[in-house]
Amino acid sequence: MNTSFFQGLLQSITERGRQLLESREPAPGNAQALAQACHKLISSHGEASGVALARQVLCAYRDCPEAQQKAFFDILLKDFAPPHDALAEACQRYLDDPSSANTTALFQASEPPRQELFRRLNQAPGGTAELIAMRRLLLQELKARPELTAVDHDLQHLLASWFNRGFLVLRRIDWSTPASILEKIIKYEAVHAIKDWDDLRGRLQPADRRCFAFFHPALADEPLIFVEVALTRAMPGAIADILEPGSGAQPAEEPDTAVFYSISNCQDGLRGISFGNFLIKQVVEELAREIPGLRHYVTLSPVPGLRRWLDGLGDDPQLGAAAAELLKALKPDAPPPPRTEQPLLALAAEYFLHAKNGAGLPLDPVARFHLGNGARLERLNWRGDLSVSGLRQAAGLMVNYRYELRQIEKNHEAYANQGAVAASPEVRKLATLSAKTKR
Amino acid sequence: MNTSFFQGLLQSITERGRQLLESREPAPGNAQALAQACHKLISSHGEASGVALARQVLCAYRDCPEAQQKAFFDILLKDFAPPHDALAEACQRYLDDPSSANTTALFQASEPPRQELFRRLNQAPGGTAELIAMRRLLLQELKARPELTAVDHDLQHLLASWFNRGFLVLRRIDWSTPASILEKIIKYEAVHAIKDWDDLRGRLQPADRRCFAFFHPALADEPLIFVEVALTRAMPGAIADILEPGSGAQPAEEPDTAVFYSISNCQDGLRGISFGNFLIKQVVEELAREIPGLRHYVTLSPVPGLRRWLDGLGDDPQLGAAAAELLKALKPDAPPPPRTEQPLLALAAEYFLHAKNGAGLPLDPVARFHLGNGARLERLNWRGDLSVSGLRQAAGLMVNYRYELRQIEKNHEAYANQGAVAASPEVRKLATLSAKTKR
Amino acid sequence: MNTSFFQGLLQSITERGRQLLESREPAPGNAQALAQACHKLISSHGEASGVALARQVLCAYRDCPEAQQKAFFDILLKDFAPPHDALAEACQRYLDDPSSANTTALFQASEPPRQELFRRLNQAPGGTAELIAMRRLLLQELKARPELTAVDHDLQHLLASWFNRGFLVLRRIDWSTPASILEKIIKYEAVHAIKDWDDLRGRLQPADRRCFAFFHPALADEPLIFVEVALTRAMPGAIADILEPGSGAQPAEEPDTAVFYSISNCQDGLRGISFGNFLIKQVVEELAREIPGLRHYVTLSPVPGLRRWLDGLGDDPQLGAAAAELLKALKPDAPPPPRTEQPLLALAAEYFLHAKNGAGLPLDPVARFHLGNGARLERLNWRGDLSVSGLRQAAGLMVNYRYELRQIEKNHEAYANQGAVAASPEVRKLATLSAKTKR
Amino acid sequence: MNTSFFQGLLQSITERGRQLLESREPAPGNAQALAQACHKLISSHGEASGVALARQVLCAYRDCPEAQQKAFFDILLKDFAPPHDALAEACQRYLDDPSSANTTALFQASEPPRQELFRRLNQAPGGTAELIAMRRLLLQELKARPELTAVDHDLQHLLASWFNRGFLVLRRIDWSTPASILEKIIKYEAVHAIKDWDDLRGRLQPADRRCFAFFHPALADEPLIFVEVALTRAMPGAIADILEPGSGAQPAEEPDTAVFYSISNCQDGLRGISFGNFLIKQVVEELAREIPGLRHYVTLSPVPGLRRWLDGLGDDPQLGAAAAELLKALKPDAPPPPRTEQPLLALAAEYFLHAKNGAGLPLDPVARFHLGNGARLERLNWRGDLSVSGLRQAAGLMVNYRYELRQIEKNHEAYANQGAVAASPEVRKLATLSAKTKR
């Protein structure tokens, strides 16, 4: 179908957003004035002057000193909570007669007026971006003042609804993408830093590289999350093979493997709203359509918690001799010596299969993400990442997770219900060795 | 700014929607099977198989016989309501200690699981359109079975949040718009029917015509609401001057007036979510930018309730002679005779200013819309619409409402708070005459 | 690759064209004044004021009465021909010394200044469209005044160079194409008239229909040529099967045949510049890419010259009895009676294989087009088109030409060099019968 | 108008170009084989296999060793020249009877078959780009082998016709332009080198900067020429004020001056086809539309020939004392000492007004460009460019040319007809001083 008409639709959203950023209107300047304007916005006034008033409030908020912005959070907490008397009455009525109508009424009475306020603020051009920025600050503040959680709950609730997967758009990022987007890819890359524009070009332009990002129509010039992919003939074991391909390296003529080697979330203000699972699955679909020869979808992933866990083992009285020697041999900034290969792999296998957090899930956060998506732990790669951060995080170890479409649901279920870790026989065998290494 | 990159964003949303419509997957086929799939979707299963499962449910729902679709509504009502025990406990806890945490917990406990179900269904390609279609059927069913209101409340709540004005996009509709959109304009026009493509061209192509619609990115090939505009040198009094301009008619060289002569909502499934107010205001902004010479923004509007109200007057013992004679003279299908002009205008003025519904607002629904937006009633036009429907609705009367930007907020406030009807001195004077006419 | 940036390129070309059409500048108003402005345009003046002057000339030309436009052609012929003395001198110099430099100089001296004039006129926004309109009128005038051929030669020379296949763009036309383009498809369809928008929709929207057109960037809202295609499971024999599919007709689930059933040139002013060959070949490529199951590419074509040729046979003394009877039985407006099937097919085969024009090529113009493209005559279809025009042109006969990619070059060569007509054995056999029918 | 449909038109051109670059077909590999394929292409073969054959030839050419490519130029010169006998006959016939028909026939006979060959090559996807690359090499070769001029004449003739201003598209280049285009801006900048992406951003992103380029639809990812503009409140005298704005520098709130500070041609293969004049004039139009407050359109230009001319003065026996001292004081790499300001400005004024080349036009090539466009020399700026190249070219001098729309045509005429240099009174006065300085 000819979709060019529809392509034009986003222009105005983006341009309206821009207007907000450029507008300069007189600002109330403090939290109290802000609160007053907000009350006006959710009253009937808000209906008539709607967009203009919302825009004024957002501009005023943005121009406030940070201290006033934080004070505004308190007002949101207290003055825009559900009115107690009405809510208590709705509770009582529900307890007396839990009818459908009373249930609905209770739901309505318990919805904090903040939510309506946020919805009205969102009407302003660029409003969504401003609300995300507001939540970013709120999340920082939350550490010191956990009582603001209720406010955050409301913002997150709305943002999760608005950033529903049905509204996200997958876009390929390549060398013909606007520079204004590309500079954000450089900025947001969180796994293997992009040094400069040439480094970026090396990840986008070669025929065996892909990059995809999710966008939201109301935030059109901001990627939400992106993944970098290398197309290869085999599952790679070291990140250097991907990031610094040798001079003689030819792009795989007929690649059979897609390697997801970096996934980065971009928007702090959308923390807790999960895009990664959807992104990986849609990228798998896209790649399968484009390159029918692809058979394997794997990651090359860091192991951010390994080193800390290893260090913690030092106190373990049951630690085997090989393991103890390993721990002694590991230096923070030097590649591990050859003799440590076996013990390190074995301990790492144990780390993945048996080290659990309070919720009974794997200690490693990257493992939790991929296993939760239904992937399985495929291979441990000694000397996978010899960069400073790779050594410090995981003594140079990297791992591959494999996404096998037919197993994803089964793996996910077992993981979600019993915390079961899907792992290849090879990894399982290493874990057995680990027992020996350790005790 | 160069927005072409962003313009491409919508393509995939639209194409994904299309896929759903075209997919043919085996369907459970009845409400019970649907319900089971829905339970799976909001369980942890839903996270792993997410989009695919949502798509399956929507396809199954769409392929069900209508009776099963309606039976499904019952299941939504009963099986996807908030679980009673948990909610009662949350109530009790809140009543005991109305802390912020308990308030949040109460809100969460009172949110019907249907809402999460609808959010997950929306993840499927084309999900938003299917949910709107679901609500259309639900609204029909609601008349017979008001207990489904609770289900509708949840759907409307989510749709209102998703169709927030911040996510709407204004697009000009003209003769270079895709035919697939234009045929929807023909279909959805609700005020002055568009006979065929030539009639449509006459409303879009001339230099003195404009048409604008709101679109939503997830529903890119469906207008939500649109307005047709004529640019003139004076406030017109008869719709024929606009719809059938004489052969010699030249487009106004330097128009000073924008006439909104038709506004149509397009999506039954979005009933109760208001777009008109925002549309008019943004179109005023667009036109003011494009044509700096514009000074007046008015409507030429039908008066759908006048005739019925007039007919009701027959029983009024205080009815004056002129009015009684008028009522006798009005024929359902013939233009009113000249001698009825004054009494008709006077009674109409009374209708607008004094005839109220149960809520103390004007009887006339179109009046409620424009007055609620902050417009004022400017002029009554005898013989404004001599078409059959114009005669039957309002004895041929049409009216102009005027949008004066500086008065909008004041008018809206007075209307919202006291039900005050903003009207021109001319109309007020006619209403005074009416008193005499009547008694 | 992300081509959205490049997609924006055409906007300004199109918009600039529009400006020209809307501009209103004082016009010289007659051929002499025009000529004077043209002389200025190709002088050094033209370099400085360039675009503006070209625009003025084109506006003036367009606003002239037609008689003055035709008078302007005479001026182009006489005043913008190569200056005789210089050209004679260049001839002499070449004859004396046919050096490379003298050849170049001769070429330059023999290029009529009209060509430079046309190039400069083309600099104006919308200039290309105006030059095409100018040639349309010139071609009409040419019939009465063949001496204008020299002017036409220059215009055609330039247009052929500018409309080089390398600059043409193939675009699919479907139901989401802008209405302003679609109305031109209705207007330009030259083979099987499109009755109205519903008829058009029936040719564009069904899943088994395709339509493609060539466009030129400088004429972006005007198709140059388009072809309508039906996807089927077999080579069709009657146009009604395509244009009025029965109510029960389902689109072919897995089509193996693409039927080109209508090809229309759109721009009279580009006559003699051939697009059809390129169009068919690129559409074959597109379809093959989109639908890998396609095996056959055929036409369902009219036979515009058959009836006239048959009528001419009446005088042939050698005419056989069956043929004579056939001729008697054919009525201008009624389907041929069943008994005429064999003789008609046999004579038609003879018509295709043996009836030649002065150049030794087939009499039938549609045959010349497809055979010249390298297609072969595949099948003759009795009662292929029972419409009035089908009966009058060809007694209801239609034919299929087949494009077999591996044979195209060979067929074309044999046709171009020896006038050989590629035909299926079936058709050849019919032609043998014809000999008997006839003598 | 809604131009989105038309925006899609270019996609295929660009993509087809890409295909060519990626295709890998067996190549003849030498000039003779190439020539043979070319003969086939312009024969009737070319009509049938058209695009495919053209593509093969271009691929073969591109894959040839450079020596063979140059040998191919010879074949183009000799084997694709007009056939002598036919041309001689056409000459004779014209001399005998210079009729319109004989003139046309002579023109046709004198057109070298190379031109038709180039037109057919252009039919291949990406053909235009390959022909431009071919001409780039040809132009290099021409220096050593001037006899190839005839071949170059034909290529230039066609390219000039194809790159007619009517087919060019102006596009703003900004920070949201695709990186693949932006890297070409960095590469092609010929006046003030762009150091890196940050430097580029500084020229594109600030609110007071603009950049515009011409593109051609068949070469959509290659700018043809671009101009960089700064918006200011006054005519600047030093390039550093533009390229390295001080930390405190605020963008001009209400600029009244547009400064064209860098114009670069991008395509060596299009040398001699002039775009700069058109570019400047259209950018002036664009800026005037966007920023109604603009009053002045000026350049800040280098003076590439000044230093060489000054050096040549050393031998002038009439050289005045001040001038002689100046020449002594100038160092190749150091800013000129303050005492040299007046003599340098005076001599520069003389250089612009009186130093002429063989054609009687100013010695300075940049001056010839702007004066030829109808600009006037406005001001000489001592210490305008203290970079190494600025000092070496012009002892640090820069100049402003002013484009005053009402004077452009008059200036151009005087320049074109009498070589008159339009200059401000200030510059004229300096030139008078120069006489004294010199003698």
DSSP C385-414: --SHHHHHHHTT-EEEEE--HHHHHHHHHH
pLDDT at C173: 97
The residues with which C171 forms a beta bridge, in sequence order, are: C213
- CATH number, domain with residue B293: 3.40.630.180
pLDDT at C47: 66
Amino acid code (one letter) for B406: R
Mean pLDDT within C92-110 = 96
Which of D14, D175, D176, D215 has the most A C-beta neighbours within 10 Å, making it the best mutation to test the interface with A? D176
pLDDT at A45 over 70: no
For residue B9, what is the DSSP state?
A: H
Domain presence at residue C60: yes
Cα(C66)–Cα(C118) distance, rounded to whole angstroms? 19
Which residues from B are below 8 Å from A417, CB to CB?
A: 44
Which residues from C are below 8 Å from B181, CB to CB?
A: 176
Which residues from B are below 8 Å from C253, CB to CB?
A: none
- CATH number, domain with residue C114: 1.20.140.90
Residue D67's pLDDT band, with cuts at 50, 70 and 90, is very high
Contact A348, A397 (CB under 8 A): yes
Domain presence at residue C8: no
Contact D87, C94 (CB under 8 A): yes
Closest chain D residue to A8, measured at CA: D4
pLDDT at A300: 97
Cα(D306)–Cα(D362) distance, rounded to whole angstroms? 11
B123: closest CA of chain A, how far (Å): 4
Sheet holding D257-265: strands in order across?
D169-172, D209-215, D225-232, D257-265, D296-299, D398-402, D376-381
Mean pLDDT within A327-349 = 89
CA angle C171, D221, C115 (to 5 degrees): 75
Domain presence at residue D6: no
- The verdict on a CB contact (< 8 Å) between B7 and A3 is no
pLDDT digit string (tens) for C287-334?
A: 999 998 999 999 999 999 999 999 888 777 777 777 888 888 888 888
Sheet holding B376-381: strands in order across?
B169-172, B209-215, B225-232, B257-265, B296-299, B398-402, B376-381
Residues B131 and B187 in one domain: no
Residues C173 and C152 in one domain: no
Tokens 């590419």 belong to which residue?
Answer: C297
Mean pLDDT within A356-370 = 93
pLDDT at B361: 93
Residue B427 CA: distances (Å) to CA of B44, B399, B400, B431, B433: 63, 10, 11, 6, 10
- The verdict on a CB contact (< 8 Å) between A176 and C1 is yes
Last residue of a domain, one of B132, B163, B194: B163
Last residue of a domain, one of A134, A163, A192: A163
Which residues from C are below 8 Å from B177, CB to CB?
A: 178-179
pLDDT at C25: 47
- The verdict on a CB contact (< 8 Å) between C5 and A176 is yes
A322: closest CA of chain B, how far (Å): 40
Which two three-digit tokens encode residue C50? 């360039």
Which residues from D are below 8 Å from C373, CB to CB?
A: 48
Contact A45, B409 (CB under 8 A): yes
- CATH number, domain with residue D351: 3.40.630.150
Between D412 and C152, whose confidence is greater? Answer: C152
For B394, the domain range is 305-435
Last residue of a domain, one of D112, D145, D163: D163
pLDDT at A220 over 90: no
Which chains have 3+ CB pairs within 8 A of A? B, C, D
Of C2, C5, C176, the CB nearest to A2: C176
Closest chain B residue to D1, measured at CA: B176
Residues A32 and A158 in one domain: yes
Domain presence at residue A18: no
Mean pLDDT within A390-394 = 93
Q: What is the ipTM of this complex?
A: 0.89
Which chains have 3+ CB pairs within 8 A of C? A, B, D
Which residues from B are below 8 Å from A94, CB to CB?
A: 87-88, 91
Cβ contacts of B101 within 8 Å, gap of 6 or more: A149, A150
pLDDT at C113 over 50: yes
Cα(C247)–Cα(D19) distance, rounded to whole angstroms? 43
Residues D29 and D88 in one domain: yes
pLDDT at A315 over 90: no
Residues C296 and C376 in one domain: no
pLDDT at D89 over 90: yes
Coil, helix or strand at residue B137: helix
Cα(C345)–Cα(C353) distance, rounded to whole angstroms? 12
Residues B138 and B230 in one domain: no
Residues B155 and B202 in one domain: no
Mean pLDDT within C142-163 = 96
pLDDT digit string (tens) for A258-314?
A: 999 999 999 999 999 989 989 999 999 999 999 989 999 999 999 999 999 998 887
Domain presence at residue C64: yes
B323: closest CA of chain C, how far (Å): 49
Half-sphere exposure of A412 (CA within 13 A, CB side): 21
Name the interface residues of C facing B (CB cutoff 8 Å).
2, 4-5, 7-8, 175-182, 196-197, 201, 221
Contact C203, C226 (CB under 8 A): no
Cα(C58)–Cα(C56) distance, rounded to whole angstroms? 6
Which residues from D are below 8 Å from A175, CB to CB?
A: 178-180
Residue B62 CA: distances (Å) to CA of A368, B59, C226: 36, 5, 38
Contact B276, B286 (CB under 8 A): no
Per-residue burial over D31-55, b = 16 or more CB atoms within 10 Å of its CB, e = otherwise? bebbbebbbebbeebbbbbbbebbb
Which residues from B are below 8 Å from A128, CB to CB?
A: 166-167
Number of domains comprising chain A: 3
pLDDT digit string (tens) for D339-366?
A: 889 999 999 999 999 999 998 999 999 9
| pLDDT digit string (tens) for chain B, length 439 residues | 333 444 444 444 444 444 444 444 444 478 888 998 899 888 866 666 678 889 999 999 999 999 999 999 999 999 999 999 999 999 999 999 999 999 999 999 999 999 999 999 999 999 999 999 999 999 999 999 999 999 999 999 999 999 999 999 999 999 999 999 999 999 999 999 999 999 999 999 999 999 999 999 999 889 999 999 999 999 999 999 999 865 445 566 789 999 999 999 999 999 999 899 899 999 999 999 999 899 999 999 999 999 999 988 877 777 777 788 888 888 888 899 998 899 999 999 999 999 999 989 999 999 999 999 999 999 999 999 999 999 999 999 999 999 998 888 889 889 988 899 999 999 999 998 875 555 5
For residue B317, what is the DSSP state?
A: T
pLDDT at C48: 61
What dihedral do alpha carbons C354, C357, C358, C361 form, nearest 10°?
Answer: -70
Name the interface residues of B facing C (CB cutoff 8 Å).
2, 4-5, 7-8, 175-182, 196-197, 201, 221
Sheet holding C225-232: strands in order across?
C169-172, C209-215, C225-232, C257-265, C296-299, C398-402, C376-381
Which residues from C are below 8 Å from D127, CB to CB?
A: 166
Which of D169, D176, D185, D204 has the most B C-beta neighbours within 10 Å, making it the best mutation to test the interface with B? D176
- The verdict on a CB contact (< 8 Å) between C178 and A5 is yes
Residues A293 and A346 in one domain: no
Cα(A203)–Cα(A140) distance, rounded to whole angstroms? 32
Selection from A240, A232, A293 nearest residue A260 by Cα: A232
C-alpha radius of gyration, chain D, whole number: 26
pLDDT digit string (tens) for C252-264?
A: 678 999 999 999 9
Contact C191, C150 (CB under 8 A): no
pLDDT at C219 over 80: yes
- The verdict on a CB contact (< 8 Å) between C51 and D94 is no
Of D1, D172, D174, the CB nearest to B176: D1
Which residues from A are below 8 Å from C172, CB to CB?
A: 2
Cα(B413)–Cα(B400) distance, rounded to whole angstroms? 21
Residues A314 and A249 in one domain: no
Residues A191 and A152 in one domain: no
Mean pLDDT of chain D: 88
Residues C40 and C131 in one domain: yes
Q: φ and ψ at D301, to 5 degrees?
A: -120, 150
Q: Which of A281-290, B90-99, D12-21, D256-265 comes out lowest in average pLDDT? A: D12-21
pLDDT digit string (tens) for C327-348?
A: 888 888 889 999 889 999 999 9
The residues with which B379 forms a beta bridge, in sequence order, are: B400
Mean pLDDT within D89-111 = 96
β-strand pairing of C296-299 with C257-265: parallel
Residues D287 and D342 in one domain: no
Which of D3, D44, D148 has the most C C-beta neighbours within 10 Å, making it the best mutation to test the interface with C? D3
Domain presence at residue D213: yes
C246: closest CA of chain D, how far (Å): 33
Domain presence at residue D17: no
A383: closest CA of chain B, how far (Å): 32
Domain presence at residue B18: no
pLDDT > 90: what percent of chain C? 72
pLDDT > 90: what percent of chain A? 72
A183: closest CA of chain D, how far (Å): 10
A200: closest CA of chain C, how far (Å): 16
